[in-house]
Amino acid sequence: MTSRDSHETNGEPSTDRPTVADGSGAPANPLDVLESEGDVDTSLGTSDKIKKYLRIYIYEPWLVMRRDWRALVGLTIISSYIIVGILGWLFLEPTRMGHGPNQLPWFRSLAHPLGTNLYGVDLMRETIHAIPMILKMMFAGGMFTIVMGTVVGTVAGYKGGTVDKVLSTITDVFINLPGLPLVIVLAVVFTPESAYALGILLTIEYWAGLARAIRSQVLQIRYDEYTEASRTIGLPTGTILLKDVLPHLAPYITIRFVSAMRTVLFSAVGLYFIGVLPEGDTNWGIMLSNAYNNGAMYRPQLLHWILIPSIAIVVLSIGMILLSQSLDRVFNPRVREKHKSDGEESLEEEDEVGGKGKGMTLG
Amino acid sequence: MNWYLQRTLQMLLTVYVVITLTFVLTRMLPGSAIGVLRSRLEEETDMSPAEVEAAIQQFINIHPDDPIHIAYRDYMLATLQGDLGQSIWYGRSVNEIVAEAIPWTLFIVSWSLFIGFFVGIILGSLMAYYEGGKIDVGLTTYGMVAGSIPYYIFAVFLLIFLSYRTGIFPTSGRVGNVEHGFNLEFMGSVIYHAALPTISMILAGSIASLSMRGNSIRVLGSDYLRVARLRGLSNNTIISQYVLRNAVLPMYTSFMIKIGQMFGGVIILEMIFGYHGMGWFMVESVDTRDYPLMMGCFMVITIAVVIALFIADLTYPKIDPRVTTENEEL
């Protein structure tokens, strides 16, 4: 019953499209709309198509999100980081040693609102100038995770057989490896300088969890009625994967994207803190490291040197947790119904994805 | 195939991959690494070039000029015999350093895992049972905030306020100035020094209790719990037999995921607390360019995690018998 042909038809197929690929009456998530609509209108022009995608991927999720305070706060926090980062990069002069008086506490002077460190470096400017690099790194890590995880997981789950065996074995090996020691050694060997390369390096084993979760999801979806219907009609594998399977995985993928970014943030800062990543431009981890090594631990007047980068990390991380919780609501109507006032659902959901994968692959 | 056999093969394969990876990475070390070693040997000793080459091979178990397959064979043989090479910085064998450091790391990690596990279960059950109450709301908020704080930030602030400011705990080190051995004073000192690293790990691990809570709530909502109530079972029985039992399962899986994270996290924590375990030696060896020691630490930490996960996986079916059968279907 499995059609193991692998026509990679990513473009719009010219074949007769089945009117309905979703056998389920009400769409389980907003993205299901995409399937049914995409399947009905085959005559859309490019601009119409873009509009349709915008509506389904941006506008409709937004309708759900704007009623959720988590989404609003999370998005506000993340966009402020982006805006401040860009503005700072454009208009704010970088700081240097001796920029201000030494050891100025925070909130004392308008010229240096967040004070200066032991050497007179303006901490506000230093913190802001670190944002672009951190965000680039997080983005690269997140993208690498979801692309690797989705491709490996989907292909393994859908093709089965030897391909699955090989890919699952690779995934299992990566899942069993602890991330940080590997990252440290790789960083020493390759000394990556660019933020993007670092982001990828930091998620070098993180994608495996997503791949495993997606594989087991694909295995389930594969035998669902509508997928089977598409297969019976003779749609190529690529189309079925794109139209029937992937939309159902979008929630997992999105939430994993956010959590991968958080992992990159945490590990990057931690590894910069202990000084094993190649030092380039300043960032929060290097700030922490300098503070730690220059007596901020025991000198009360230097406490803000540690506090400022810590707050920058924690606030960004809170923003991302809130966003991933609300994303869960956007995608998961069951969650929305069941736990309207519950705060921890997405955390649980996230753990569950990993947990489930863990249980399943034991073999 | 038998599930246990399959899992064992997977573990062996992973160990093999780790050793091979170490070999490849050692070969790929920036040319300067071996150069540094060579120049140091040439300057500091009066060896002949041939002796220098032999010494290099002893240090990293890889002869730089050998063809790759011979080098690989030699490396595998040496490693499988338990020879991890020679530390450049300390002038001792890596095995010796590792053997001396690893108990300390295992001490911190295992205590953090077990205490975190049980605290998580108890908190999670409490939260689920008093859903919506003050305890629940308070712990939920704490969990969310704590989940956003990396463990090393916890560590830094614990260190500032509990060690440097108040002097309750030591600022660094593994053990105080006491005689080593099985005496009470030594044990006390060990626990005293390990307290802060362990606490930082547990505090940051609070997410576990939240996942537990979510799962407990699901159990509480299910029909069979309602039936249990209707049958007039006592609350204690319901909590221990119904809620806990079902909630431990997801806890155990997250426990397994945590093993890897903790062995990674302990590297950063050991640096912050100046705790001379595996992680500390690994990072220090990066700073001192002591590559044999670095690779040795990497290999030992990684294989420790692989074996820990293996053991955790083997015990999992004891807790959830569905696992082995479920896998056969997939």
Q: How many residues does chain A have?
A: 363
- Give 3-state DSSP helix, strand, coil % of chain A, rounded to 5: 70, 0, 30
Asked if the structure places residue A20 within a domain, the reply is no
pLDDT at A102 (0 to 100): 83
Residue A308: CB partners within 8 Å, gap ≥ 6? Answer: A106, A114, A123, A124, A127, A287
User: Which of B3, B6, B148 shows the shortest C-beta gap to A314?
Assistant: B148
What number of other Cβ atoms are within 10 A of residue A209's Cβ?
A: 24
Q: Which residue has the tokens 């594989």?
A: A215
Q: What is the pLDDT of residues B97-121, one digit of tens each?
A: 999 999 999 999 988 888 887 877 7
User: Which of B148, B164, B327 shows the shortest C-beta gap to A317?
Assistant: B148
pLDDT at B221 (0 to 100): 64
Identify all chain B residues contacting A348, using CB atoms and an 8 Å cutoff: 210-211, 213-215
Q: What is the pLDDT of residues B196-233, one digit of tens each?
A: 999 888 887 655 555 555 556 666 666 777 788 888 88
The alpha-carbon gap from B302 to the nearest alpha carbon of chain A, in Å, equals 6
Q: What is the pLDDT of residues B32-86, one digit of tens each?
A: 566 767 777 777 667 777 777 777 777 776 666 677 888 888 888 888 888 888 8
CA A311/CA B156 separation, integer angstroms: 13
Verify whether the Cβ–Cβ distance A344 to B213 is below 8 Å: yes
Domains and CATH numbers, chain B: 101-278 (1.10.3720.10)
Which residues does chain A have with pLDDT short of 50? 1-41, 335-363
User: Which of A182, A188, A269 shows the shortest C-beta gap to B286?
Assistant: A188
Q: What total number of domains does chain A contain?
A: 1
pLDDT at A3 (0 to 100): 41
What chain A residue is nearest to B149 in terms of C-alpha separation? A314
Q: Which residue has the tokens 């794109």?
A: A242
**Structure tokens of A78?**
């993340």
Interface with chain B: mutation pick from A351, A353, A356, highest number of B CBs within 10 Å: A351
Verify whether the Cβ–Cβ distance B327 to A363 is below 8 Å: yes
User: Which of A184, A270, A354 shows the shortest C-beta gap to B257?
Assistant: A354
Domain holding A200: CATH number?
A: 1.10.3720.10
Asked if the structure places residue A277 within a domain, the reply is no
Asked if the structure places residue A230 within a domain, the reply is yes
The alpha-carbon gap from A12 to the nearest alpha carbon of chain B, in Å, equals 32
User: Which of B17, B264, B326 shows the shortest C-beta gap to A179?
Assistant: B264
What chain A residue is nearest to B29 in terms of C-alpha separation? A189
Q: How many residue pairs bridge chain A and chain B with CB atoms within 8 Å of each other?
A: 195
Angle value at C-alpha A33, between A27 and A35, nearest 5 degrees: 105
CA A138/CA A147 separation, integer angstroms: 14
Identify the residue with better confidence: B147 or A289: A289
Cβ contact A224:B322 at 8 Å: no
What chain A residue is nearest to B160 in terms of C-alpha separation? A297
The alpha-carbon gap from A314 to the nearest alpha carbon of chain B, in Å, equals 5
pLDDT above 70 covers a percentage of chain B that reads 82
What number of other Cβ atoms are within 10 A of residue A77's Cβ?
A: 18
> Smallest Cα–Cα separation from B156: which of B109, B112, B203?
B203
What number of other Cβ atoms are within 10 A of residue A292's Cβ?
A: 20
> Smallest Cα–Cα separation from B255: which of B218, B307, B304, B308?
B308
Residue A118: CB partners within 8 Å, gap ≥ 6? Answer: A102, A103, A294, A295, A296, A302, A305
Residue A334: CB partners within 8 Å, gap ≥ 6? Answer: none
Interface with chain B: mutation pick from A184, A261, A361, highest number of B CBs within 10 Å: A184
Structural domain boundaries enclosing A219: 131-260
**Structure tokens of B246?**
């079902």
Backbone angles phi, psi at A206, to 5 degrees: -70, -30
Asked if the structure places residue A143 within a domain, the reply is yes
Residue A234's region, left for phi above 0, alpha for psi from -120 to 50, else beta, is left
Asked if the structure places residue A175 within a domain, the reply is yes
Q: A164 and chain B: CB distance < 8 Å anywhere?
A: no
Identify all chain B residues contacting A311, using CB atoms and an 8 Å cutoff: none
Terminal Cα distance for chain A, rounded: 24
Verify whether the Cβ–Cβ distance A188 to B294 is below 8 Å: yes
Q: Give the 3-state secondary structure of residue A102.
A: coil
Identify all chain B residues contacting A161, using CB atoms and an 8 Å cutoff: none
pLDDT at B330 (0 to 100): 39
Cβ contact B15:B303 at 8 Å: yes
CA B292/CA B88 separation, integer angstroms: 7
Asked if the structure places residue A206 within a domain, the reply is yes
Residue A197: CB partners within 8 Å, gap ≥ 6? Answer: A140, A190
Task: Give the ipTM.
Answer: 0.84
Q: What is the pLDDT of residues A122-143, one digit of tens each?
A: 889 989 999 999 999 999 999 9
The alpha-carbon gap from A191 to the nearest alpha carbon of chain B, in Å, equals 9
The answer, yes or no, to whether residue B87 has pLDDT greater than 80, is yes
B165 secondary structure, DSSP code: I
Q: Give the 3-state secondary structure of residue A7.
A: coil
pLDDT at B211 (0 to 100): 57
Identify all chain A residues contacting B264, using CB atoms and an 8 Å cutoff: 178-181, 267
Q: Which residues of A267-289 are buried (b: 16+ CB within 10 A; e: fewer)?
A: bbbbbbbbbbbeeeebbbbbbbb
Verify whether the Cβ–Cβ distance A306 to B254 is below 8 Å: no
What chain B residue is nearest to A320 in terms of C-alpha separation? B148
Q: Give the 3-state secondary structure of residue B149.
A: coil
pLDDT at A336 (0 to 100): 44
- Which stretches within chain B are classed as H helix? 3-28, 31-44, 49-60, 68-80, 94-129, 134-148, 151-158, 184-204, 207-221, 223-230, 235-237, 245-272, 278-287, 291-319, 322-329
Give the predicted TM-score (pTM) of the model: 0.80
CA B309/CA B329 separation, integer angstroms: 23
CA A15/CA A102 separation, integer angstroms: 71
The alpha-carbon gap from A339 to the nearest alpha carbon of chain B, in Å, equals 10
The alpha-carbon gap from B248 to the nearest alpha carbon of chain A, in Å, equals 12
What chain B residue is nearest to A174 in terms of C-alpha separation? B14
